[in-house]
Amino acid sequence: MARPKEPTLRQLEYFENVARLLSYRGAAEELQISQPALTAQISTLEAGLNVALLERSRSGTHLTPEGRELLPYAREVLSTMRNLRERAAVVSEGRQTTYRLGVPPTLGPYLLPHVMPELHKRHHKLKLYVREQPHQILLQELRSGSLDIAILPLPVRAEDLIIEGLFSEPLRYVVPADHRLAGNPVVRPPQLRGERVLTLEAQHHIHSLVKNVCDRIGAVIERDYEGTSLDTLRQMVVMGLGTAFLPALYIHSEMHKPEALYVSQLEGVPLVRDHGLAWRAAAPSRHFYRELSADIREFVGLRLGDVVTIANTSRR
């Protein structure tokens, strides 16, 4: 058997992307290269290692048993190199590296426009590449090293991560204009008993929050119409398909103009989602990430203090 050849970092990066997405097309799009070029690099890697890492069939792309065994080692090599680059940026003058920030799609568009400009003013050389994904995918990518930091819904139980609370965001009850509760600034739980409530798909953290509250107060989750985004959810309420609980930052950002919806607060039943900034406990830039956490709390308090409640600095 031929002696294995040393793989390149690029080949390992390509392998990790395909293994994570289980899609050559998706990996090629994310890496911004052509699919044939990606396939060629994977083939060269497999030939150099004398082992098949990935299997392609009509049902999709899968890891071979050998690929599953070698993937953690590839990720460890990539993580070590990222840490090396990150540490070099820390010890050099200024911060010219790009940090990869993950954020849920139900939060990023309504939070980051208030925070990013201020962060760039304070840290002139800071570059943030933002990636939106549901929270479970963000958690996986943070642990694998694909992300450097991520804003996650709390609580998160993970000994390998450091999480600092950022702020708590209430969810508000939204009904169409012709609804019996329209115009009430506050609604009581008994008024929602039997009410049809729309929510997002189960992959979103909001789904479990809303389901728990509905189970508690006797409202009914409308499973036939699950929204793929907050905008979709809002439009379904406008069309009279049901009512919904929407995050306060979304309402603040997208519903400031008069429209055929009314917003109420649910009395006596706390319905909030807590957000925190997370990073790997051993990350070389962990002290800077802690500084970023404080900056985000400060800027959110200044720009959105009337919408959310800023967390204390206790770490989770």
Question: How do residues 118-138 score in pLDDT, each as one tens digit?
Answer: 999 998 888 899 999 999 999
**Does residue 170 surpass a pLDDT of 60?**
yes
**Does residue 245 surpass a pLDDT of 60?**
yes
Q: What is the pLDDT of residue 95?
A: 54
User: Using an 8 Å Cβ cutoff, are 142 and 158 in contact?
Assistant: no
Confidence at 235, pLDDT banded by 50, 70, 90: very high
**Does residue 181 surpass a pLDDT of 70?**
yes
Mean pLDDT of 226-239: 91
Range list of β-strands (E), 44-153: 54-57, 60-63, 98-103, 127-132, 149-153
Q: Tell me the pTM.
A: 0.73
Q: Cis omega before residue 270 (within 30°)?
A: no
Q: What is the pLDDT of residue 55?
A: 92
Q: What is the pLDDT of residue 312?
A: 83
How far apart, in whole angstroms, are the C-alpha atoms of residue 7 and residue 4? 9
How far apart, in whole angstroms, are the C-alpha atoms of residue 63 and residue 52? 9
Buried/exposed 221-239: b ≥16 CB within 10 Å, e otherwise: bbeeebbeebeebbebbee
Range list of β-strands (E), 17-160: 54-57, 60-63, 98-103, 127-132, 149-153
Q: What is the pLDDT of residue 283?
A: 87
pLDDT in tens, 248-284: 999 999 987 656 799 999 999 889 999 999 999 988 8
How far apart, in whole angstroms, are the C-alpha atoms of residue 62 and residue 32? 21
Residue 91: alpha-carbon gap to chain centroid: 29
Backbone angles phi, psi at 45, to 5 degrees: -65, -45
**Does residue 91 surpass a pLDDT of 70?**
no
List domains and CATH numbers for the chain.
9-81 (1.10.10.10), 86-162+282-310 (3.40.190.10), 168-272 (3.40.190.10)
pLDDT in tens, 2-38: 566 789 999 999 999 999 999 999 999 988 899 999 9
Q: What is the pLDDT of residue 262?
A: 92
Residue 66 region by backbone torsions, left for phi larger than 0, else alpha for psi between -120 and 50, else beta: alpha
How far apart, in whole angstroms, are the C-alpha atoms of residue 168 and residue 276? 9
At position 130, the amino acid (one-letter code) is: V
Q: What is the pLDDT of residue 258?
A: 56
Q: What is the pLDDT of residue 2?
A: 59
Q: What is the pLDDT of residue 282?
A: 86
How far apart, in whole angstroms, are the C-alpha atoms of residue 115 and residue 309? 15
Q: What is the pLDDT of the chain when averaged over all its residues?
A: 90
Question: In percent, how much of the chain has pLDDT > 90?
Answer: 70
Confidence at 227, pLDDT banded by 50, 70, 90: confident
**Does residue 75 surpass a pLDDT of 80?**
yes
